[in-house]
C-alpha cells in the first residue's frame, strides 16, 4: 500500500494564521468608503491648488484713498436723503456745496424717481425737488426699481460717486465698498464720512 498524503484542509490551515482578517470582496462597503475618502481628499487638494480669483480694483484706488473723487463732486442721491432734506427745509445744492466746500453735480437715477412716484402724495415735495432740471438724470438698464440695489451696483462699477443717503442698511452696504464716501442729513446740515480732507462736523 502506498503512503497516504497528509494535506491539511484549507480552512484548518487558514485558521492557524495569526490575526487573520477575512478577504474583502470587490463589492464590500468598506472598499466603497475608502474610495469615497480618497475622492474627497483629491477634491480638497484640487481646491487648495486652485488660485482664487481676486476682483480687479479700480485704477483710481490708492489703498483706501480714491483719487477719482475730485471737484465737481458727483453726488448720487437716495430717496431717504431727499425726504430728510425736505423735512429739514434745506436747499439741496447749496447745502451740499457748504458741506464739501466745492462745486457739486447732483445725480438722480430713474430708480429713485420711480420710488418717489410710488410713495404717493406724502413725498410730492421731494418728487418736485427730484424733477428739477438742474440735476443730472441717469437711466437704469437693470430689472426692477429697488433704488438701494441700483446705488450699490453703480458704485461698485464706477468709484466716482459720493452717495447721499440716511438709510442705515444702505450705509452698511456702502461701507463694504472702499473709496465711496457717504453724505447724510444730521442736525440741520449735511455731514460727510470717508472723504479724505473733508470736514465731518
Task: Say which residue, 59 or 167, is predicted with more confidence.
Answer: 167
Residue 140 within a domain:
yes
CATH number of the domain where residue 179 is located = 3.40.50.1010
Q: How far is CA 136 from CA 57, 77, 79, 88, 118, in A?
A: 27, 11, 15, 23, 21
Residue 133 within a domain:
yes
Q: How many domains does the chain have?
A: 1
Please compute the mean of the pLDDT values over residues 92-103 and round it to a whole number: 93
Residue 27 within a domain:
no
**Exposed, middle or buried by CB within 10 Å (0-12, 13-18, 19+), for 111?**
buried
Residue 47 within a domain:
no
Please compute the mean of the pLDDT values over residues 36-46 and round it to a whole number: 84
Instruction: Measure the CA–CA gap between 114 and 147, rounded to whole angstroms.
Output: 9
Instruction: Measure the CA–CA gap between 193 and 113, rounded to whole angstroms.
Output: 25
Cell numbers for 32: 466603497
The answer to whether the CB of 81 falls within 8 A of the CB of 96 is no
Read off the pTM: 0.68
pLDDT tens digit sequence for 168-186? 999 999 999 988 999 999 9
Residue 128 within a domain:
yes
Domain holding 155, by residue range, is 68-193
Q: How many CB atoms lie within 10 A of CB 70?
A: 11
Cell numbers for 71: 471737484
Instruction: Measure the CA–CA gap between 172 and 1, rounded to whole angstroms.
Output: 102
Amino acid at each position: 500500500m502506498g503512503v497516504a498524503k497528509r494535506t491539511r484542509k484549507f480552512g484548518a490551515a487558514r485558521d492557524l494564521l495569526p490575526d487573520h482578517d477575512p478577504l474583502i470582496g470587490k463589492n464590500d462597503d468598506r472598499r466603497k468608503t475608502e474610495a469615497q475618502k480618497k475622492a474627497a481628499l483629491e477634491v480638497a487638494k484640487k481646491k487648495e491648488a486652485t488660485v482664487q480669483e481676486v476682483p480687479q480694483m479700480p485704477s483710481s484706488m490708492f489703498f483706501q484713498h480714491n483719487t477719482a473723487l475730485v471737484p465737481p463732486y458727483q453726488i448720487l442721491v437716495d430717496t431717504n436723503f431727499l425726504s430728510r432734506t425736505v423735512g429739514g427745509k434745506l436747499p439741496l445744492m447749496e447745502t451740499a456745496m457748504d458741506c464739501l466746500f466745492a462745486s457739486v453735480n447732483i445725480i438722480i437715477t430713474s430708480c429713485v424717481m420711480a420710488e418717489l412716484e410710488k410713495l404717493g402724495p406724502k413725498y410730492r415735495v421731494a418728487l418736485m425737488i427730484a424733477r428739477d432740471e438742474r440735476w443730472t438724470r441717469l437711466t437704469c438698464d437693470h430689472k426692477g426699481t429697488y433704488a438701494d440695489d441700483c446705488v450699490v451696483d453703480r458704485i461698485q462699477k464706477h468709484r466716482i460717486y459720493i452717495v447721499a443717503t440716511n438709510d442705515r442698511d444702505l450705509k452698511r452696504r456702502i461701507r463694504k465698498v472702499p473709496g465711496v464716501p457717504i453724505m447724510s442729513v444730521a442736525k440741520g446740515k449735511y455731514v460727510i464720512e470717508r472723504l479724505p480732507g473733508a470736514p465731518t462736523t
